[in-house]
Amino acid sequence: MQLIDIGDTKVVQVRPDDSVDHAIALLEQHGFRHLPVMERGRILGMVSDRDLLSAVAMLPSSERMSAEEGPARVGATRISQIMSSPAITVEAEASLEVAAELMLREGIRAIPLVYQDRVAGIVTETDFLKCYLDDRPIARKSGWRLRKVADLMSSPVVTLKSGDQFVHAVRTMQSRRIRHLVIVDDGKMMGLVSDRDLRRGLGGLPLQAQDERASASRSHMQVVMADVMSREVMTIEPSASLAEVAEIMVKNKFGSLPVMRDGNLVGIVTEADLLRHFVASCKD
């Protein structure tokens, strides 16, 4: 199979001078998380929902007016201010394994596909998860999709408490190179915090705090995990299949699932875990 076989050939793009509001509207309209940034047929970079969360909490300008600064807009206003550049691309006819390994190595979730120097499509982490679900040749290969969560989950789980501070969460994610933290108080799971949750908190800072690093740090010190965590958390059992996990993640746009056994937290499984397993299965 080639990447173009699983990727999306419908590529919605933005230009560097487009407004942040325009990008937010496109992501919400199409249900996407990534947009290639193009100009005169050339791909210059990528902008993602994570970029928009960090910059403006994914809020349009009408909702992020600074009360103290009058009509001034909080955060970035143009795509060029927040996009990732240069864009990492892959040939549309390349193998699935090539792009999956690149995503894992670079820590990215979407890659534009090019054919004869033109953008021909885009492949995302979700497209690879869908390979766990359908009747494509890769899905029918042996029993790799039916391996159990217990075989793949990370354990023990990195956890924080609901009263732990924002900065503590950021440092923990960076040092452990993870994107999800389970919040546990007195042995009971209280919620889940993702890097998206933290980015949303960052984008929600007042204008003056974003512009001044010291002020931003002081603002963050007042934010605790109870303020940003998701409280309604779906979980999975260790005996569930990886295909079941993929289906839940794709359907609900989850990046991770805590693993529970008899009411106890025993592990966590993430999109990246499924992607690594996919790569290993391609090599078998």
Q: Tell me: domain 3-131, CATH 3.10.580.10, correct? A: yes
pLDDT at 167: 87
Answer whether 112's CB lies under 8 Å from 11's CB: yes
Helices and strands, number each (H, E), in the chain: 14, 10
Helix, strand, or coil here: 92? coil
- Answer yes or no: same fold for 3-131 and 146-283: yes
Specify the residue for token string 């007195």: 186
In terms of C-beta density within 10 A (0-12 exposed, 13-18 middle, 19 or more buried), how is residue 110 classed?
buried
> Which CATH number does 146-283 carry?
3.10.580.10
**Peptide bond just before 16 cis, omega within 30 deg:** no
For tokens 């993430």, name the residue. 270
Could you give the CA distance from residue 14 to residue 80 in angstroms, rounded to a whole number? 10
pTM: 0.85
> Chunked in runs of 10, what are the mean pLDDT values of the chain (284 residues)?
91 96 94 93 93 85 59 72 94 94 94 92 95 77 87 96 92 93 96 91 54 48 88 96 96 96 96 94 79
Q: What is the pLDDT of residue 74?
A: 58
Query: What is the rounded CA–CA span in Å between residue 254 and residue 257?
Result: 7
Q: Using DSSP, state whether 87 is helix, strand or coil.
A: coil
CA distance readout (Å), 58 to 157, 180, 203: 29, 19, 8
Distance CA 3, CA 25 (A): 27
- DSSP codes, 95-108: BHHHHHHHHHHHT-
pLDDT of residue 142: 66
Strands 118-124, 110-115: pairing is antiparallel
Q: Taking each helix axis from N to C terminus, what angle separates 166-176 and 213-221, rounded to the nearest 10 degrees? A: 100
Tell me, what's the pLDDT at 67? 44
The domain ranges of the chain are 3-131, 146-283
